[in-house]
Structure 1
Amino acid sequence: MRRPVHRLAMAAAVMTAVTAGVLPASPAGAESRPQSPAGAESRQLVGTWSTASDRLTPTDRLAVTIGGQTVRMVARISIGGSGLRVRLSNVFGRKPVTFKNVHLGLQAYGAELVTKSNRPLTFARRKWITVQPGQAIWSDPLEEKISGRQDVVVSAYIPTAVEEVTGHDRAYATTYLSTPGDHAAEETAESFTGTSTQWYFLDRVAVTTGGGAGSVVALGDSITDGTGQGSDANRRWTDYLYQRFGRVPAAKRMGVLNVGIAGNRVLQPGVGPSALSRFKRDVLSQPGVRTIVVLEGINDISRGEYTSAKPLIDAYKKMIKLAHAKKLRILGGTLTPFYGYSTWTEEREEIRQQVNVWIRTNKAFDAVIDFDKAVRDPGFPAQLAAPYDHGDHIHLSDAGRRRLAYTVRLSQLV
């Protein structure tokens, strides 16, 4: 059950879109960063929430054709600020998608919004936008401030059917689907009779902050995506991480962005594009990104036919080079155990150990986060410690995901 919101983080007065810094739709391969308003050099746009997108089709888990209805999606932001913007993506679409009457509010419970919190979003000062295939677009900013760790709700009316939706399959969050028609401005839940556990089109939220704030981007697979948690639980290891940031002085907080995809691999496409191929789009183009945490590679090992760690190591080196070219810090997370999982073999375990030795000793990453050491069984390091095992011997329990978050030293991320 979600905790009801008892106070507004946005002013109840009507929010007026700031027209400075309006962005055109951006190509899929381009860096899509909104710019701070003119005269605000001491302030910058920082990502406060993100997800990694892929193409959703009717063959995917719970995927449906979207259109002729309103989609209402919930995202828990990490850092607060003003000038909030959302990004809608058609990166994986093959036809244009039109969005009308997009709104942003605060969640009360389920599809119901806090009274008088729902505000219209504009795109280049228009109430509608058509996003071409392969593109994404940011909304104009809202003026009022919003505090961090809020459940914001984006409602968008999609007038025509979209069969190939750009979205995120395993949101572990409830999305609400309306009866036919435009219900985006409504704050009640009556029209939202259907649900899904996917995010559609929405892939980023950013705010304007001061004091040199930045964001940390977590690149990964199901361990980062949050497999094992309940729907609407917000118990990804990155959720626990931004909870930690909430207890430090505001000037030291960072946005925490999760771009994990369950089933994703570093080297080969499969569930989503490979991590290496999506690195520029999902990581480097995030607004305000300062630090990157890489925790990915176990699917390459557990499902691949590699005979050594070299292919993975070479991929990590490419990511490091790309990050350093942007003057960003990049941290390497050691790969966690999977003994007892259906695809475990001694040969694959040896490759995992080779990868972890390289991460720990090569000093190619700016710092190392030893996730493996944190959650392995001290008496049998090839397997997860029982309290951290979700039950399938590869995914983590809530305690395991929390343990990952507390393994990160916040000073490593600044």
Structure 2
Amino acid sequence: MVTWATGLQPVRADLDGRTVRDVVRTSAGGEALQVSLSNLLGERPVVLRASMGLHAGGGALEPGSVRPLTVAGARDVVVGPGEEVLSDPVPGPWAPQLELAVSVHVDGDPGTVSGHVLATATSYLSDPGDSTLDEGSAAFPTAVTSWSVVDAVLVTGVRDGSTVVALGDSLTDGDGSTPGEDRRYPDALARRLLADPGRAGTGVANLGVSGDQLLVPGAGAGVLARLDRDVLGLPGLETVVLLAGTNDLLRGAAADDVVAGLERAVERAHAAGVCVVAATVPPFAQAGPAFAEGRRTVNDWVRGSGVADAVLDADAALRDPADPDRLLPEHDSGDGLHPGDAGYAALAAAVDLDDLDCDR
């Protein structure tokens, strides 16, 4: 099952002969971890060497925590364009909610790499050279705000383990939350699940991509395309929480087309034996009356169609009761569209945990 993942996008990073130290936070714990290294969106073969350790702040690792990663027993691995590799299991046990640092050395200039632009977290880049086994911060002088190459962390040996994927755009990606504090709504949802003794083995994967659209490519390949490419094949997948359509409406898509796209997403998930919790579209007052009317049409369908297995009423969780076409001020990050930390916490609190249990 998955304990951490991110939505893949093409990333241009100066990785020529350098080591990137991606800092990520897991959700569920277990007996062993495996790391997925991706060149799915790359333009050429890359030679990678990787390690993982416990993050100690800055570019540093906790002393003695670094573990080399191997693939089929080899430290160096060639990953062709359009390919991903999964590391051999690293035995634990591993506690939940760990801040991991996965260090990846890239031999030569990889060009465009697979990664994630809006990490809402700080990772680190070394000077040229293989610094995968360095525990100190001196080898990693450059802070970066994207993730590169690492796209998922899997966990094994979890009792009653399963995976929940949060899929969507910037509202899932966490735009507007405090960087480095893990305050996106999927982070808060993961903490809620961990606090429930019957659901502590549920991993949460955040596959939001800021700027992405449901129907066509945005800053990512498009939510429908990513559902097929990145989501439905994930191990242990039980339920997808789908919050999408905002950017389509903002760019002039017809509400009926957004509804049709959501319906296609649910149909594809159901065909794979996966449940869907469909979310309503939150308000954005500055977008004007056409957006407001479009989201009302979409939201009426989400609430009333019964097509999805359950509904997350993001609109009701975030809107101002005195002015339902705008965010509640204490939920607003300041731009009228993206929640802040309190808004994302409210959104996570609105998820009925029973809705995440899928019996398809």
CA displacement, residues 288-307 of structure 1 (integer Å, 9 cap, x when unaligned): 11000000110000122x3x
Q: In the alignment, which residue of structure 2 is the partner of 1:122?
A: 70
CA displacement, residues 133-168 of structure 1 (integer Å, 9 cap, x when unaligned): 011111111122101101011111112012211110
Q: In the alignment, which residue of structure 1 is the partner of 2:195?
A: 247
Among 20, 29, 33, which residue is 1:80 paired with? 29
Among 38, 62, 87, which residue is 1:89 paired with? 38
CA contact (8 A) 1:85 1:206 kept: yes
Q: In the alignment, which residue of structure 2 is the partner of 1:383?
A: 326
CA contact (8 A) 1:65 1:164 kept: no
TM-score normalised by structure 2 residue count: 0.97
Matches within 5 A, 1:279-298: 279-298=227-246
Letter in 1 for 2:246: I
Name whichever structure is richer in helix by fraction.
2
Q: In the alignment, which residue of structure 2 is the partner of 1:70?
A: 19
Q: In the alignment, which residue of structure 1 is the partner of 2:79?
A: 131
- SS of 1:179's equivalent in the other structure is coil
CA distance in 1, matches of 2:219, 2:192: 30
Gaps of 5+ in 2: none
Gaps of 5+ in 1: 1-45, 58-63
CA distance in 2, matches of 1:142, 1:260: 27
CA distance in 2, matches of 1:89, 1:133: 9
CA displacement, residues 166-198 of structure 1 (integer Å, 9 cap, x when unaligned): 110000111111111111111111111111100
Q: In the alignment, which residue of structure 2 is the partner of 1:168?
A: 116
CA distance in 2, matches of 1:122, 1:152: 17
Q: In the alignment, which residue of structure 1 is the partner of 2:8?
A: 53
Compared CA separation, residues 250 and 182, structure 1 to 2 (3 A): farther
Q: CA deviation at 1:212?
A: 2.5
CA contact (8 A) 2:193 2:199 kept: no
CA displacement, residues 341-398 of structure 1 (integer Å, 9 cap, x when unaligned): xxx1212211100000000000000001111011111111111111111111111011
Q: Would you say 1:179 and 2:127 are equivalent positions? A: yes
CA displacement, residues 202-234 of structure 1 (integer Å, 9 cap, x when unaligned): 000001134321011000111110111232111
Compared CA separation, residues 346 and 251, structure 1 to 2 (3 A): closer
CA distance in 2, matches of 1:368, 1:267: 20
Compared CA separation, residues 330 and 251, structure 1 to 2 (3 A): closer
Q: In the alignment, which residue of structure 2 is the partner of 1:158?
A: 106
CA distance in 2, matches of 1:349, 1:221: 18
Q: In the alignment, which residue of structure 2 is the partner of 1:274?
A: 222
Kindly tell me the number of residue pairs found equivalent between the two proteins.
Answer: 357
CA contact (8 A) 1:320 1:330 kept: yes
Q: Would you say 1:372 and 2:312 are equivalent positions? A: no
Among 253, 260, 270, which residue is 1:314 paired with? 260
Letter in 1 for 2:293: E
CA distance in 2, matches of 1:188, 1:226: 29
CA contact (8 A) 1:211 1:251 kept: no
Q: CA deviation at 1:252?
A: 4.6
RMSD: 1.1
Q: In the alignment, which residue of structure 1 is the partner of 2:168?
A: 220
- SS of 1:215's equivalent in the other structure is strand
Q: In the alignment, which residue of structure 2 is the partner of 1:345?
A: 288
- SS of 1:399's equivalent in the other structure is helix
CA distance in 2, matches of 1:54, 1:276: 14
Compared CA separation, residues 70 and 332, structure 1 to 2 (3 A): same
CA distance in 1, matches of 2:179, 2:303: 34
Among 280, 289, 299, which residue is 1:334 paired with? 280
CA contact (8 A) 2:31 2:158 kept: no
Letter in 2 for 1:397: G
CA contact (8 A) 1:66 1:165 kept: no
Q: CA deviation at 1:251?
A: 5.3
CA contact (8 A) 2:194 2:202 kept: no
Letter in 1 for 2:9: D
CA contact (8 A) 2:29 2:201 kept: no
CA distance in 2, matches of 1:247, 1:265: 33
- SS of 1:68's equivalent in the other structure is coil
CA contact (8 A) 2:243 2:278 kept: yes
Q: In the alignment, which residue of structure 1 is the partner of 2:299?
A: 356
Letter in 2 for 1:230: T
Q: In the alignment, which residue of structure 1 is the partner of 2:178?
A: 230
Q: In the alignment, which residue of structure 1 is the partner of 2:351?
A: 408
